[in-house]
Amino acid sequence: MLCAWCGALVGQSAAEHSHGICQPCYQRLRGLPDLTEEELDELPFGVIVLSRDGIIRSYNRAEGELAGRAPRSVLGRNFFTEVAPCTSVQAFEGSFRAFCEGDEVSRTFQFTFRFLAGPVRVQIVFLHKQPDVAVAIRKLP
C-alpha cells in the first residue's frame, strides 16, 4: 500500500482514522493544529486554517506558492466564495461542512483545483484546530 500523503510504500497504518496515511506522516499532520504561524510557514506543503464559516485565518507560504497567491492578500476572506470558488462544490465544501459538524479526527480526500495554468490534483487532509479547521494540501505527482 502507498501512503496517501508521502507516496512511500508502507504496510497498513496502525493509526486510527489514518485513511491510508503512514504513521510518521499521520503524526506530523496531527501536530498541525499546535503549530505557530512561523512553524506553518516552514512546512513543505500547503496549510490553510479556516473558520467554520470558511474565513481564512492562516495561509502558509507553501500554499501561497502552490496557488500563486500572497498569503496576506487572502487573510480574512472567504475561501469558498472569494479565494477558491472552484471548491464551492459538494466534493470539497460539502466535505468541509460535514467534517465541521461531525466527530471525525481527520478527513482525507483528493481534489483537483482548476487554475488558469491548468488543473492541479492535490491530497487534502482536514484536522480540527479548535475552533477552526486546518486544511493540509499536498500536490500530487
Please give the Cα distance from 133 to 23 (Å, whole number): 21
Report residue 136's pLDDT band, with 50, 70 and 90 as the boundaries.
very high
Do 42 and 121 touch, CB atoms closer than 8 A? no
Q: Determine how many CB atoms are found less than 10 A away from the CB of residue 65.
A: 12
Give the model confidence (pLDDT) of 93-128 as tens digits.
999 999 999 999 889 999 999 888 889 999 999 999
The residue behind cell 502558509 is: 60
Size of the chain in residues? 141
Give the model confidence (pLDDT) of 37-79 as tens digits.
999 999 989 999 999 999 999 999 999 998 989 999 999 999 9
Dihedral sign, Cα of residue 55, residue 140, residue 39, residue 16 = positive
